[in-house]
Amino acid sequence: MVEGMRMNLWKFLYNNFDELYLYCYYVASTVGLMSVPDMGIAPESKATTESVYNAALALGIATQLTNILRDIGEK
């Protein structure tokens, strides 16, 4: 997460989706991944720990991309 904040200081344009994905991972997915242990997984859940972490990662990427697209639309 700290690395993503550092990127905000010097990186404003991304040359390809891989660079943008990495930024989204740092600023959003890390928050979701750090939240999983605190929020836990319901005991009755059939989801694996790996699938929960994968979902947290994907949700972070999707949320940040949506935020970026919203910002573009406002300019």
Looking at residue 53, its pLDDT comes to: 95
Measured from the Cβ of residue 46, the count of other Cβ atoms closer than 10 Å reads 6
d(CA 47, CA 69): 31
Measured from the Cβ of residue 59, the count of other Cβ atoms closer than 10 Å reads 14
3-state secondary structure of 12: coil
Contact in structure between 23 and 4 (CB atoms under 8 Å): yes
Query: Is the pLDDT confidence value at 47 over 80?
Result: yes
Chain position carrying tokens 């660079």? 19
d(CA 49, CA 75): 40
pLDDT, tens digit, for every residue of 2-40? 887 877 777 778 899 999 999 999 999 999 999 999 988
